[in-house]
Amino acid sequence: MGALSGIKVIEMAGLAPAPYCGMILADFGADVVRIDRLGAGSMDTLARGKRSIAVNLKDPKGVETVLRLAEKADVLLEPYRPGVMERLGLGPDVACARNPRLIYARLTGWGQSGSYAPMAGHDINYIAISGALSVIGRKGDKPIPPINMLGDFAGGGMLCALGIAMALVERFQSGKGQIIDAAMVDGAAHLASFIYKFRNNGMWKDERGTNLLDTAAHFYDTYETKDGGFVSVGAIEPQFYAALLQGMGLDPAGLPHQMDQSQWPAMKEKFAAVFKTKTRDEWSAIFDGTDACVAPVLGLGEVHEHAHNRERHLLVADPAGKLEPAPAPRLSRTPGSVRRPIPSVGQHTDEVLDEYGFAAAEVAGLREAGVVG
């Protein structure tokens, strides 16, 4: 039994953030039913653990079908621009009137309000105006977007899942659902709370690559190794820095103080030269088991080969034998698990409608009319 067993989630099909949110819920036992567009192509890659029904939302009967599902659901998750669900006839005013206990989660980039709300955008835009993008990059270089992990997945999908979990807990007290406005720009800013606080206290400069954690310090960066690999170094505390110097074979007596920022550029050059003398795996052999805060930079295709990752079963195999991250975090009594493979579009239409109280003849009529498939 997962932590969310018994929770019914209706997920409107979308890309990236909302499917990731739904996947988190499914990993921990929620029954996530994805509403796919009738005639859609392949299923989204983040659909593990979910079931799929295909519905024609341009048909009023298709809209009514979704509303009937929402009547018995705990959560409705939607990824569209503000106003789209209202135009479909599936807005929170309608759905929550049919089910006052419904938690209606709206996951967007800009949010449900504000002058940017109706505009198109992507992760890079959302993290840009949140301030988070401005701090990522090296000195003298332009901001570097961290793929789309920060806005779409961390600030968007993951925080939306947290919001849903909090709303579910609150519902035990009030008996009422509520609307969640999960905006990626909000989430990205929130993830940067630590940096905002540092800046407020005069401990962070606006120029990229000049601060403790943004590659200015020689003891917090990545270095290329003899074989073209890389190691990550994060030895901030003095005792960790001492272990780092020992492993590198450097005598601290002949070096400037660790926190002498005027010497950081020269020390980076020294570190770069030393790390170039051995391969990545040779450095791993030296630092494994120490407190030097050094770890190899692993490519996605070799993560499963690392001993620590194997011991923790960091990755799990999908039905095709391909590896993907296991559910996280790890709960002692009700851990997450991958309960179903990625479904095909509409694979569970009849099964789900039957469970939600649709008669067999009714389902057959909807299918014949092109409302579901």
The Cα 54–Cα 40 span in angstroms is 8
CATH of domain 220-297: 3.30.1540.10
Would the pLDDT of 319 be above 90? no
Whole-angstrom CA distances from 152 to 125, 128, 146 are 11, 13, 11
For the chain, give every domain's residue range: 8-191+317-368, 220-297
Which candidate, 52, 112, 123, 104, places its Cα nearest to that of 83? Answer: 112
| pLDDT per position as a tens digit, 44-74 | 889 999 999 999 999 999 999 999 999 999 9
Annotation says 190 is catalytic: no
Q: Which pLDDT score is estimated for 188? A: 98
Q: Angle formed by the axes of helices 17-27 and 159-174, to 10°?
A: 60
The residue-averaged pLDDT of 180-209 equals 97
State pLDDT tens for residues 12-51. 999 999 999 999 999 999 999 999 999 887 778 899 999 9
CATH code: domain 8-191+317-368 is 3.40.50.10540
The mean pLDDT of 331-351, rounded to a whole number, is: 95
Residue 294: pLDDT above 90? yes
* pLDDT for position 42: 74
In the predicted model, what is the mean pLDDT of the chain? 97
**pLDDT for 81-117, tens place per residue?**
999 999 999 999 999 999 999 999 999 999 999 999 9
Question: pTM to 2 decimals?
Answer: 0.96
Active site residue 152: yes
- Mean pLDDT along residues 248-263: 97
Predicted local distance difference test score (pLDDT) of residue 200? 97
Which of these is catalytic: 31, 36, 44, 152? 152
Give the per-residue pLDDT at 77. 98
Find the catalytic residue in 122, 190, 304, 306: 122
**Residue 53 backbone phi and psi in degrees, to 5:** -125, 150
Q: What is the pLDDT of residue 28?
A: 98
pLDDT tens, residue by residue, 119-146: 999 999 999 999 999 999 999 999 999 9
Alpha-carbon distances, residue 195 vs 131, 144, 219, 222 (angstroms): 10, 17, 19, 20
